[in-house]
């Protein structure tokens, strides 16, 4: 009997990994249906005719699209497991706000870094990346309230939103020889990243760095490794 929960996606995609992490934290069994993000299958186009991209969660035959929205849906639809979003409305707002910042403002800078035409342009992008990390350090201190994760004692919505990129951040560090999460500059965030990347939620979902490096080399110049 087919699972009532299916995920259309690609294993190297941080956005697909984001959904996988949420499903794992909620102990939800699902079937991952691999899709090529560069070749749109009829199945994907039928499930997501508007945006035409992965990931798509299919729950009882109904498609849910956009990774951050999918994570919120998972949190609302299943009561088992920990709550991913904080119960306090202001804390939940902050988690959503910073998740949008990460997706819309911070992570796209790494594509700009890769495509920077000159050393001067590259330096300008690097400055913006590190400025963003300082902001995320402040967000971690405010949201985490002295606990190990943005979500407190346990991994939550914002941890997933940022943590899904850590595999690819390791790739970028290896390819550029730049250390982005530096304990001397962002100690809280650097410690958070170590804890998050050693957690089963990350290790069982995100491919190993060398595998991602190989994928990066194959798709270099074609934009982000997956959809959104």
Task: State the DSSP H helix or E strand holding residue 130, giving kind and residue range, or none if neither.
Answer: helix 119-144
Say yes or no: 56 and 120 in one domain: no
Task: CATH number of the domain at 98, please.
Answer: 1.20.1050.10
pLDDT of 226 = 46
Comparing C-alpha atoms, which of 29, 30, 61 is closest to residue 43?
Answer: 61
Say yes or no: 164 and 96 in one domain: yes
Q: Is residue 19 part of a domain?
A: yes
Query: How many other C-beta atoms lie within 10 A of the C-beta of residue 89?
Result: 9
Say yes or no: 200 and 115 in one domain: yes
Higher pLDDT, 192 or 227: 192
pLDDT of 37 = 87
Q: Is residue 200 part of a domain?
A: yes
pLDDT in tens, 44-76: 999 999 999 999 999 999 999 999 999 999 999
Q: Any idea what DSSP says for residue 59? A: E
Say yes or no: 35 and 114 in one domain: no
Q: Is residue 82 part of a domain?
A: no
Q: Which domain covers residue 48, as residue numbers?
A: 5-77
Contacts of 103-106 spanning 24+ positions with Cβ under 8 A:
103/68, 103/161, 103/228, 105/132, 106/132, 106/133, 106/136
Tell me if the pTM is above 0.75: yes
Res 1 pLDDT > 70? no
How would you classify residue 135: left for phi > 0, otherwise alpha for psi between -120 and 50, otherwise beta?
alpha
């Amino acid at each position: 009997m087919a699972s009532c929960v299916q995920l259309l996606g690609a294993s190297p995609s941080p956005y697909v990994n984001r959904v996988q992490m949420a499903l794992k934290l909620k102990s939800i069994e699902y079937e991952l249906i691999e899709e090529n993000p560069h070749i749109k299958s009829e199945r994907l186009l039928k499930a997501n005719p508007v945006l035409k991209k992965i990931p798509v969660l299919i729950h009882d035959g109904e498609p849910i699209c956009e990774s951050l929205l999918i994570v919120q849906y998972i949190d609302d639809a299943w009561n088992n497991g920990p709550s991913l979003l904080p119960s306090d409305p202001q804390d939940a707002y902050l988690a959503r706000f910073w998740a949008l910042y990460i997706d819309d403002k911070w992570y796209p800078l790494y594509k700009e870094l890769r495509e920077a035409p000159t050393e001067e342009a590259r330096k300008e992008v690097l400055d913006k990346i590190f400025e963003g990390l300082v902001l995320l350090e402040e967000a971690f201190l405010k949201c985490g309230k002295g606990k190990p994760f943005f979500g407190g004692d346990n991994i939550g919505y914002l941890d997933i939103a940022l943590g899904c990129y850590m595999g690819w951040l390791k790739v970028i560090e290896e390819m550029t020889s730049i250390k982005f999460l530096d304990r001397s500059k962002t100690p809280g965030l650097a410690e958070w990243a170590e804890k998050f990347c050693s957690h089963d939620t990350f290790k069982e979902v995100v491919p190993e760095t060398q595998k991602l490096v190989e994928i990066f080399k194959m798709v270099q110049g074609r934009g982000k490794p997956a959809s959104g």
